[in-house]
Chains A and B, each alone.
Chain A
Amino acid sequence: MTSMEIWKIFEPDNYYKSFLEQNKRPDGRGLVDTRPITIKVGTVNTAEGSATVRIGHTAVMCGVKAELAKPALRKPNEGFIVPNVELYPCCSPKFKAGPPGEKAMEASQFIKNVIISSKMLNLEELCIKSNKLAWCLYCDVVCLNYDGNLLDAALVSFMAALQNVKLPEVTYDEETERIHVGLDRSIPVILKAKPVSTTFTLWSEEIQLIDPTAEDEDQGSGEVTVVLLEDGKMCTINKSGGQLITHETLDLFVRHGKEQIKKINDCIERALIEQMDAS
Chain B
Amino acid sequence: MRETPLSTCERAAVLAAISRGVRLDNRGFLEVRDINLSFGKEYGSCTVTLGETRVLAQVTCEVVEPRPSRPNEGKLSISVRLSPMAAPHFESGRGNELMDELQMILDRNIKESRCLDLEALCIMAEESVWQLRVDVTVLNHAGNLGDACNLAAVAALRHFHRPDVSVEEDGRVTIHTFEESEPIATYMKKVPVCLTYAFFIIDENIHMLMDPSEKEERVMSGKLVVGLNPHGEITSLIFPGRVLLSKKDIMNCIKSAFKKAKFSAEMIQNLVDEDIVKRKSSVKVDGFAKNLISDTVYASHMVKKTIDKGQNFKFQVPRESDEENGSLNDEMDEDINDEESGDDNSDAKPNKSDILWRIQSIRQASTKDDDATHSMETDGESEEEEKKPKLTAQDLI
Contact = CB atoms under 8 A, between A and B. Distances in A.
Tell whether any CB of A sits under 8 Å from a CB of B in the complex.
yes
Interface of A: 73-74, 76, 131
B332 interface: no
A117 B127 CA distance: 35
B172 A74 contact: no
Contacts of A74: 175
B63 interface: yes
Contacts of B173: 73
B172 A131 contact: yes
Interface string B270-312: 0000000000000000000000000000000000000000000
B175 A76 contact: no
7 contacts: A73-B63, A73-B173, A73-B175, A74-B175, A76-B172, A131-B170, A131-B172
Contacts of A76: 172
Chain B interface main SS type: strand
A209 to B, nearest CB: 35
A81 B35 CA distance: 47
A67 B175 CA distance: 26
3 residue pairs, one from A and one from B, having the closest CB atoms: A131-B172, A73-B63, A73-B173
Chain A interface main SS type: loop
Nearest to A131: B172
Nearest to A74: B175
Nearest to B165: A73
Nearest to B171: A131
Contacts of B63: 73
Contacts of A73: 63, 173, 175
Interface of B: 63, 170, 172-173, 175
A72 to B, nearest CB: 10
Nearest to B172: A131
B353 to A, nearest CB: 27
Nearest to A76: B172
B314 to A, nearest CB: 56
A120 B19 CA distance: 73
A60 B252 CA distance: 70
Contacts of A131: 170, 172
A76 B173 CA distance: 10
A131 B172 CA distance: 8
A228 B165 CA distance: 42
A131 B175 CA distance: 14
Nearest to A174: B170
A74 B175 CA distance: 8
Contacts of B172: 76, 131
B211 to A, nearest CB: 40
A20 to B, nearest CB: 39
Residue of A73, A74, A76, A131 with highest tally of chain B CB at under 10 A: A73
A74 B173 CA distance: 9
A131 B168 CA distance: 12
A102 B170 CA distance: 44
B92 to A, nearest CB: 15
Nearest to B168: A131
A73 B175 CA distance: 9
A73 B172 CA distance: 8
B30 to A, nearest CB: 49
B181 to A, nearest CB: 16
A93 B63 CA distance: 43
A74 B172 CA distance: 11
A109 B138 CA distance: 29
A91 to B, nearest CB: 26
B167 to A, nearest CB: 12
A34 B121 CA distance: 59
A74 B170 CA distance: 16
B298 to A, nearest CB: 35
A76 B170 CA distance: 13
Nearest to A130: B172
A203 B170 CA distance: 61
B248 to A, nearest CB: 53
A76 to B, nearest CB: 7
A73 B173 CA distance: 7
A179 B353 CA distance: 65
A76 B63 CA distance: 14
A76 B175 CA distance: 12
B166 to A, nearest CB: 13
A200 B170 CA distance: 53
A144 to B, nearest CB: 31
A74 B165 CA distance: 12
Contacts of B175: 73-74
Nearest to B63: A73
A73 B131 CA distance: 14
Nearest to B62: A73
Contacts of B170: 131
A174 to B, nearest CB: 9
A80 B175 CA distance: 20
Nearest to B64: A73
B128 to A, nearest CB: 8
A180 B173 CA distance: 26
B184 to A, nearest CB: 18
A76 B171 CA distance: 13
Nearest to B128: A73
A131 B170 CA distance: 10
A208 B187 CA distance: 61
